[in-house]
Copies of this chain bind each other. A is one copy, B any other.
Amino acid sequence: MSLRYGLLGLLKYSPMTGYDLKKIFEDSVNYFWSAKTSQIYRELQTLEKNKCVQSNIEISKAGPNRRVYTITPLGIKLLKEWLTNMPEETDEDNRNEFLMRVFLSSNIGGNELLRLLEARLKKYQSDIKRLDATAQAIPKYKEKFDVDKELLYWKISVSRGYHDVQSHIQWAEESIQYLKELGFK
């Protein structure tokens, strides 16, 4: 569901192609949602079937033709309905393969887990850099889409990204230290 409404939400800023949407997902929403190109194109097709968006082919002399999607009034209506009708239990999706590995680490031992955690710590540190890039992209979209009140909500979302990464780093560092104190290396 979220992908569906994410696409509608972005199309509300401006008409776009599937390719554009994929790029925005990559460099702005990416820390809490991602989607493969193939899924985006398919979802756009079903959205068009449901009359939530409408597409027009834009013939360009320079480069391949582009199918540009525009949100319809119905699309806007359904987007707002989704946003206002929030179910009691919208779980943040906790599925975490890495934690499954940690949980089962008795099978590989503390030394091995230590190495896993150290590698993971590096990943978390690079996550911060990706978030910085995202935060810096916000003003760019401000110009591109000529939005203003949106910025507040984008900032609150990005801030959640930072809180998350920072807590991951803290946990990894603590756990590494703990394992070392126990004599693992």
- What residues of chain A have their CB less than 8 Å away from a CB belonging to chain B? 1-2, 5-6, 9, 12, 29, 31-34, 79-80, 83-84, 86, 90-108, 110, 112-113, 116, 119, 147, 149-150, 152-154, 156-157, 159-160, 163-164, 166-168, 170-171, 174-175, 178-179, 182
In the assembled complex, the CB of A112 is this many whole angstroms from the nearest CB of chain B, namely 7
B residues less than 8 Å from A157 (CB atoms): 99, 102-103
Which B residue's beta carbon lies closest to that of A170?
B163
Q: Which of B1, B92, B102, B178 contacts A96, CB < 8 Å?
A: B92
* Cα–Cα distance between A152 and B153 once the two chains are bound (Å): 40
In the assembled complex, the CB of A72 is this many whole angstroms from the nearest CB of chain B, namely 15
* Cα–Cα distance between A182 and B103 once the two chains are bound (Å): 43
A-B interface, 8 closest residue pairs, ranked by CB to CB distance from nearest: A167-B167, A9-B104, A32-B99, A163-B171, A32-B96, A106-B150, A105-B153, A163-B167
B residues less than 8 Å from A9 (CB atoms): 100, 103-104, 107
Known: A80-B108, A108-B84, A110-B152. A99 touches B160 (CB 8 A): yes
B residues less than 8 Å from A160 (CB atoms): 99, 102, 171, 175
Which B residue's beta carbon lies closest to that of A103?
B157
Which B residue's beta carbon lies closest to that of A28?
B103
In the assembled complex, the CB of A120 is this many whole angstroms from the nearest CB of chain B, namely 9
